[in-house]
Structures are given as C-alpha cells and as structure tokens.
Amino acid sequence: MATLPNPPSLVTRGPMKFLIFDSPSNSNCHLYVEVCKQHNVKDVVRVCEPTYDTTAMKEAGITVHDLEYQDGTNPPDFVLSGWRTVVKDAKKKGTTVAVHCVAGLGRAPVMVCTSLIDSGMEPMLAVEHVRKQRRNAINASQLKYLRNYKKASGGGDCVVM
C-alpha cells in the first residue's frame, strides 16, 4: 500500500484532537482519506488554495471547510471564527479536526496553536507543544503573531457572579 510522502502529525490537548498534514493532490487524496478515517476525522480545514477535488472526502463522510488565507500572513478574523466553530463542534462530537496548508508547517500549525491558546495554554508552550509533533512548524513571523495572540473571549465555561 502506498504511504503519504510526509506523515501527518497528531496534536492533542484534553478533549481536543488535531491532525496536521500537507496538502493532498487528486492523485493521493485517497491516502489522506484513509488517514483521516484512522483518526476519526469528520472535518478537514483547508487554509490554503484548493489542490484537490473534495469528492473523495465527502464520500467518506468528511466535510472540507475552506478557510483559505494568504501564506505569510496572519489568519483574519473570519478564518479564526470559522475555525473556532469547527473545533467547538468537533469537541462536542469527540472527533479529530484535520487541518492542512501547502506543506503543513505554517498556516495549519498556527491554527492549532490558536486553539491551544484559546484553551488556556501559554503561547510559547502552545508552539512548543505543536513542534514536538510537527518539527520545523511555525516561522519567525508566525511565532511573533502567536506571542501576541489574545485568547478568544466568551468561550470559557466560567460564570462571574
């Protein structure tokens, strides 16, 4: 059986599970579908330009969410909002969220770090946590963005009385 050229990376924290990988192509999308099935992925977030037809994913019961943003930039608010919705829904369902960019080293790991920070992890610990699973993830400008990233408000479970 053929294997992926670059293995995916599983990042977990509590009930949150993320699978980071590089961008599939039409010729190898079926391999990514199999990996997604193995990790109980029901949602794939594509933060780069489309490089494959999503039919194989859809036929496997996997929804592809297009939240593209330009390489070398920080995720805009609409991307973060869409991402948070997918992550929140997956957490409720107990499923893994897969996310990919072109190489799986920049935009996709940044998205995972934002969720880790939103869950209460310090920014540098979030980056370190992702890098343990995804070596060479996150460049200098992305690191600067994450250092200054502010945790999402309104998503906590605490009540002030």
Give the span between the Cα atoms of 67 and 32, in whole angstroms.
Answer: 19
Instruction: Report helix, strand or coil for 66.
Output: strand
* Contacts for 141 with CB less than 8 Å, ≥ 6 apart: 72
Positive or negative CA dihedral for 98, 99, 101, 105?
Answer: negative
- Those residues whose C-beta lies under 8 Å from the C-beta of residue 28, and which sit 6 or more positions away, are 2, 4, 5
101 given a catalytic annotation: yes
Active site residue 71: yes
Q: Which of 29, 36, 48, 101 is catalytic?
A: 101
- Alpha helices, DSSP H, located in the chain: 29-38, 55-59, 77-93, 107-118, 123-133, 140-148
Catalytic residue among 71, 89, 157, 158: 71
What tokens appear for 47 in the block?
Answer: 């933060």
Q: Which residues are catalytic?
A: 71, 101
